[in-house]
A and B are shown apart, each in its own frame.
Chain A
Amino acid sequence: MEQTVEYAHATGVLSGIWLLVAIPLVSAAILLLLGKRADAWGHWLGVLSVAASFVLGLIFFISLAGLEEGERTAQQSLWDFITVGNLHVDFGLLFDPLSGVFVLLITGVGSLIHIYAVGYMEHDPGRRKFFGYFNLFVAAMLLLVLGNNYVMLYFGWEGVGLASYLLISFWYTRPSAATAGKKAFLMNRVGDAGLAIGIFMLFAYLGTTQYDAVFSSVGGLSSTVVLVLGILLLLGAAGKSGQFPLQAWLPDAMEGPTPVSALIHAATMVTAGVYLIARSNPIFSANHTLQVIVVSVGALTLLMGCIIGAAKDDIKRVLAWSTVSQIGYMFVGVGLGGGAYALAIIHLLAHGFFKANMFLGAGSVMHGMHDQVDIRRFGGLRKYMKWTWLTFATGWLAIIGIPPLSGYFSKEPIIAAAFERGDWTSWLFGMAALLGAGLTAFYMTRLFVLTFHGPERYTEDNKHPHESPYIMTVPLMILALGSIVAGGLMVLTDVPHWLEPVLGPEVEHEAVLSHTLITVLSLVVTVLGAGLAWAMFRNGTALEPQPAGVVVTAARRNLYTDAFNEAVFERPGIYLTRALVYLDSKGIDGLVNGIAAGVGGSSGRLRRLQTGFVRSYALSMLTGAVLVVGAFLAIQLGWLA
């Protein structure tokens, strides 16, 4: 499969695309460097910079649309970045239909969430710093989607990871927030390592990391190389997007302030993995096995997310697991390939709206309920928070896929596409996606009903819930509008066609079930799931956890994935550390007490001052010397080489 990819040079208005990244970056620098002097107006600068990027993005988007079809790309090389041997990396940007829609999502939803955060963080002494980090995140995210090569993407990738880590740990006084920040960081590093090695692999095999050159020459690679490369990129994508097996950090990341959860851990950053795969579609489409792996990861994660989400009682965690699950749908989409790439992107955009809407809604509920997050302690909030209730309802109906809200137009086509693979796997993935739709309806309805309907089950100090101020509810209303119309609008304006130059044309497959039947089926399971949840939780729920069967217990414990991670990654890590500490400090007094330290452990370690004996150091050097000399002699005698 040889294809040539060429990007046009940015001209005219489009030569200003670097401003998109520069504006929030400068704002972040000002906010973080000026310190307390910027406390009074800092948050408005933060809002303004993202809004300015949005307006600019809109202008660029419109001028891109004004170009001839097929020439809708604008590439810009800002400066020569680095040259190593034959590898030449530019500091370059690319604005094309795919990055265009991402820019609009990031800056559009980002602006709304920034405005909301002005209200939400009003009483927080660290508000200016918060907006500094927030702007930094937006700049990094824009760089991620605007880069014209994998190194630029990696820049953004690291930047958003850093901002995310800082923002999760923002409420450092909570130990859980610190732990969650660490977990997010470590799991993301696993993914980042995959991505970094993948990029070096591109360099080793193709000698370039520019998108156009890579995609033009990927056809010449052997299928094994493509498979390994794809798996490495997938590992990166899974880390960032909270997909199996790196999903555990995302729900814990909810320890951060709610606007962070909405922007970073729902609408934008976590979808970076989907962007990576969609952007790399020539690589992923080049290997069938690779695509099957991606779909399997997506399908498995979407079911896991639904099942665990149904057993959680923390409003933000339910939403977090639902994010994991919805991104699973997107992975199914990008894994299916062909026309489904565009479907995944549409679902990503629609999800950006309704998930941000619901997260901010959850924040609004918490704002009125003294930061209570336990849905067993809500109920009947409809009376007190009219706007929050109404806007949350649109998000709820959108995510479970009730027509004509946006989720219907974005999720249902993915389910249909899963049935269209044309072999037995159609049934496997199709049924998983269908089952997921039913489960989604169940847990989202449970969340909605327990929060806004049924009897009031408030704790003593929470007798008087109140609605949030307009600065918070107006963004909610706009996002609710988006949750209603975004999906339909994207179908009407034929977004798949818009994305076709990047993602390739639609490929017809034989469907195992007719499209109409799938639509009917998915609506039926949705109504069934929602109806069941409504019937079960209409009258509230027990305030204490009830003894439960095997499945529910497993779901409450995140399907034992944490236990698995601990056994497979954490313990070996700790043993490795202990072994190295032991080897490194052999003979040190008090060694036995000193080996309690582990990777990720933080406190209570023995303070090792200088107690090392020279003789033991000399011994260890001698051992090393014997080994090195021995290895050389072994080579000479032909034992090793």
Chain B
Amino acid sequence: MGDLKLPAIDYGALAPMLILFGVACAGVLAEVLVPRRSRNAVQLALAFLGIAAAFIAVIVFVQNGSRGVTIGGAVAVDGPTLFLQGALLVLGAVSLMLIGERSLERGGTFVSQAAITVGSQKDVKQAGDQPGLTEVYPLTMFALGGMLLFVSANDLLTMFVALEVFSLPLYLLCALARRRRLLSQEAALKYFLLGSYASAFFLFGVALIYGFSGGISLAQVHEAVVNPQNSQVLLYAGLALLAIGLLFKAALAPFHVWTPDVYQGAPTPITALMAACTKVAAFGALLRILYVAFDGVRWDFQPVLGTVAVLTMLVGAVLAVTQTDMKRLLAYSSIANAGYLLVGVLALNPEGLSSTMFYLVAYGFSVLAAFGIVTLVRDADGEATHLSRWAGLGRKSPLFAATFTFILLAFAGIPLTSGFTSKFAVFGAAVEGGQTWLVIFGVITSMLIAFPYLRVVVMLWLSEPGESTPTVSIPGFMTSAALAIGVLATLALGVVPAPLIDLTRDAAQFVR
């Protein structure tokens, strides 16, 4: 045995993650120590404070200007890391506003005791008014912390650990819906099984890449890719398997199959968290792997992943047309958007990197607002997500219908919304990167997918409200704030996107 050398650790760089994990642990303690009555308020405050502190840590690190790898090359702190961590924290805070909402229904969106058998006596009792689980807050903090690590992981094993750290809490969170608990549990189980399956692919890919390059850090992999010493079969098979693991998290076809079921079954605030933050994390890692480690074989993976992008856009756009449930429609829309994001990634130039990051933020805000509105449209059985139920809502609640219309127009890519600028940016980057064929498919499918969105718009405004039209609940302060942030960001990024685009351009530089 002998000299075990401790690597240098830059605690400033790790501070955002350490803060989140610390807060999550404190949250677990609070479950035990804080009396039930005040637990929700304490947990919520703790979570917000944690996110705020982590955000400040990111800002401080941005200001001090040092970039590089730390903790033995396991974590890279560079422009994309800091930008995406900041984005994750902001989007996470907005998600937390939806998660923390307790005024829409008695006890909140979450079940109060998840272990009780569905339909039993106890279950009926708890469905009444028992307050929801407060473990959701520490779980959310763990998930966010894992995502922060995921986008900064600079070696494959750290990346895998981060993947599991943020996935496991999400599996749990999916199962915690207060209403339609079977659907929720089924979604969680599906997500867990398929997620583990995908993780296995990822891990197998790590093994093969290790065999190929003799190392797991992205810099070593990059070296080996440029000067291959071993069989290229290991490289390509390993890259393919790694990619599959990430494509699954990013909901790209044909690894998207879980998305509609999970989005539909999960409690809506959790769906919002997944749609906004998981997407950022998954694409952050994909960008890093492709741009940092496998840049040398870009000509080889571009066509394969390009095909994946085309397939994803087609599946998302065409199947969105046939959906009759709002959450499933948004799920397919999220799949299609993953396709557009991949187009930006495959530009493989600095513009591709910056426009993809811009897209992630713009889409995150819009999708949070969209799911936020879904939580408001309710009847006696909870959320009324079937499309036909939304007909005529414009008559009953013009303000919310107008808000939702605006978000849908953004998804449809109508100019003066962030949906247009972000698509324009990724397509522009792809044209510059010589991927015109992807842009052609992108334009065509984005024309196609506008149709289901506008159909909803017409239904909202130009239909008579029926007998069964649900009501739009008056949102509490937090949901209102989340909606306002989402809508304002969608508008601002659509009209004056230049400041954020400049920010992403300044950040578009990876370190190895």
Q: Is the CB of A624 within 8 A of B244?
A: yes
Identify which of residues 616-635 in chain A touch chain B, using a CB-to-CB cut-off of 8 Å: 617-618, 620-621, 623-625, 627-629, 631-633, 635
Given A204-B431, A605-B324, A628-B243: A633 in contact with B257 (beta carbons within 8 A) = no
Q: Are B429 and A84 in contact (CB under 8 A)?
A: yes
Residues from chain B with a CB closer than 8 A to the CB of A641 are 299-300, 303
Tell me, yes or no, whether A86 is within 8 Å of chain B by CB: yes
C-alpha gap A82/B501 in the complex (Å)? 8
Interface-lining segment among B124-132, B140-148, B278-286, B420-428: B420-428
* B433 nearest CB across to chain A (Å): 9
Contacts of B237 in A (CB 8 A): 629, 632-633
Decide yes or no whether B510 CB sits under 8 A from chain A. no
- Contact status B497-A635, CB under 8 Å: no
Pick out which of these stretches binds chain B: A153-161, A312-320, A501-509, A521-529.
A153-161
User: At the interface, yes or no: A186 with Cβ under 8 Å from chain B?
Assistant: yes
- A-contact bits for B408-437, CB 8 A (1 contact / 0 none): 010000111000010011011101100010
A182 to B448 alpha-carbon distance, docked (Å): 12
Are A633 and B414 in contact (CB-based, < 8 A)? no
Which of B248, B261, B351 is within 8 Å of A85, CB to CB? B351
Q: Which listed residue, A87, A614, A627, touches B428 by the CB 8 Å rule?
A: A87
A197 in the interface (beta carbon within 8 A): yes
B193 to chain A, nearest CB (A): 5
Q: In this complex, which of A173, A182, A609 has the most chain B Cβ atoms within 10 angstroms of its Cβ?
A: A609
B342 sits at the interface (CB 8 A)? no
Q: B67 at interface (Cβ–Cβ under 8 A)? A: no
Contact string, A64-88, partner B, CB cutoff 8 A, digits 1/0? 0000000000000001111111110
A620-B198 Cα distance, complex, nearest whole Å:
12
Known: A584-B319, A624-B244. A85 touches B197 (CB 8 A): no
B28 within 8 A of A: no
A211 contacts partner chain B, Cβ-Cβ < 8 Å: no
User: How far is it, in angstroms, between the C-alpha of A436 and the C-alpha of B314 when the chains are bound?
Assistant: 42
Contacts of A83 in B (CB 8 A): 498, 501-502, 505
Assess whether B165 is interfacial by the CB under 8 Å rule. no
Task: Determine whether A196 belongs to the interface, using a CB cutoff of 8 Å to chain B.
Answer: yes
Would you call A612 and B415 a contact (CB within 8 A)?
A: no
Contacting residue for A200 out of B183, B314, B439, B458, CB 8 A: B439
Q: Mark B247-272, 1 if CB is under 8 A from A, else 0.
A: 11000011101100100110000000
Q: Is the CB of A632 within 8 A of B431?
A: no
B62 at the interface (CB under 8 A from A): no
Q: Tell me if B61 counts as interface (CB < 8 A to partner A).
A: no
Q: A33-B402, A85-B432 are in contact. Are A155 and B415 (CB under 8 A)?
A: yes
Interface residues of B in 311-326 (CB under 8 A from A): 314-315, 318-319, 321-322, 324-325
Bound: A628/B238 CA distance, A: 11
Residue of A nearest to B427 (CB): A200
Partner of A621, one of B198, B235, B319, B501: B198
B194 touches A618 (CB 8 A): yes
A198: min CB distance to chain B, Å: 10
A193 CB contact (under 8 Å) in B258, B349, B447: B447
> Which of A94-102, A163-171, A322-330, A403-411 lines the interface with chain B?
A163-171
Q: Interface size of A by Cβ–Cβ distance < 8 Å?
A: 75
Knowing A577-B321, A640-B303, the reply to whether A612 touches B261 (Cβ < 8 A) is: yes
Known: A85-B351, A155-B416, A193-B443. A631 touches B261 (CB 8 A): no
| B232 contact set on A, CB distance < 8 A | 636
**Which A residues are CB-close (under 8 A) to B325?**
607, 609
Candidates B324, B425, B450; contact of A84 at CB < 8 Å:
B425
C-alpha spacing A204/B431, complex, angstroms: 6
Whether A84 lies near B244 (C-beta < 8 A) is: no
Separation in Å of the B432 CB from the closest CB of chain A?
4
Q: Is B400 part of the binding interface, using a Cβ–Cβ cutoff of 8 Å?
A: no
A567 at the interface (CB under 8 A from B): no
CB distance from B356 to the nearest CB of A (A): 12
How near does chain B come to A162, taking the closest CB pair, in angstroms? 6
- Report which of B190, B233, B261, B318 forms a contact with A580, defined as CB distance below 8 A: B318
Chain B contacts for A607, CB-based, 8 A? 324-325, 386
Q: Are B300 and A169 in contact (CB under 8 A)?
A: no
A33: chain B residues at CB < 8 Å are 402
Listed residue (A129, A166, A632, A641) with the most chain B CB atoms within 10 angstroms of its CB: A632
Given contacts A185-B454, A623-B254, contact A82 B443 (CB under 8 A): no
Contacting pair B186 A189 (CB below 8 A): no
What CA separation (Å) do A328 and B187 show in the bound complex?
56
Complex Cα–Cα for A641 and B306 (A):
14
**B458 with A614: CB separation less than 8 A:** no
Check A427 for interface membership: any CB of B closer than 8 A.
Answer: no
Question: Which residue from B183, B197, B447 sits with its C-beta under 8 Å from A192?
Answer: B447
A59 at the interface (CB under 8 A from B): no
Q: Roughly how many angstroms separate A196 CA and B235 CA in the complex, as a whole number?
A: 38
Judge whether B301 and A632 touch: CB under 8 Å: yes
Q: Are A614 and B193 in contact (CB under 8 A)?
A: yes
Smallest distance from the beta carbon of A83 to chain B beta carbons, Å?
6
Cβ–Cβ contact A84 & B451, under 8 A: no
CB pair B318–A193 under 8 Å, yes or no, is no
Please pick, from A82, A172, A617, A632, the residue contacting B458 in the complex, using a CB distance under 8 A: A172
Q: Does B337 contact A (CB under 8 A)?
A: no
Whether B194 lies near A85 (C-beta < 8 A) is no
Q: State whether A80 touches B498 (Cβ < 8 A).
A: yes
Q: Give the interface of B toward A (CB within 8 A).
A: 183, 186-187, 189-190, 193-194, 197-198, 201, 232-233, 235-237, 239-241, 243-244, 247-248, 253-255, 257-258, 261, 264-265, 299-301, 303-304, 307-308, 314-315, 318-319, 321-322, 324-325, 349, 351, 355, 386, 398, 402, 409, 414-416, 421, 424-425, 427-429, 431-432, 436, 439-440, 443-444, 447-448, 450-451, 454-455, 457-458, 461-464, 496-498, 501-502, 505
14 contacts between A and B (CB under 8 A): A84-B428, A85-B432, A129-B461, A165-B454, A170-B462, A182-B451, A189-B450, A197-B443, A577-B319, A580-B318, A599-B318, A599-B451, A601-B322, A635-B304
Q: Which residues of A contact B (CB under 8 A)?
A: 32-33, 35, 79-87, 129, 151, 154-155, 158-159, 162, 165-166, 169-170, 172-173, 178, 181-182, 185-186, 189-190, 192-193, 196-197, 200-201, 203-204, 576-577, 580-581, 584, 597-602, 605, 607-610, 612, 614, 617-618, 620-621, 623-625, 627-629, 631-633, 635-636, 640-641
Q: What 4 A-B pairs have minimum CB-CB distances, sorted nearest first? A: A624-B254, A84-B428, A172-B462, A155-B415
Q: Can you name 5 extra interface pairs (CB under 8 A) apart from A605-B322, A625-B244, A628-B243?
A: A82-B501, A601-B322, A614-B189, A629-B241, A636-B232
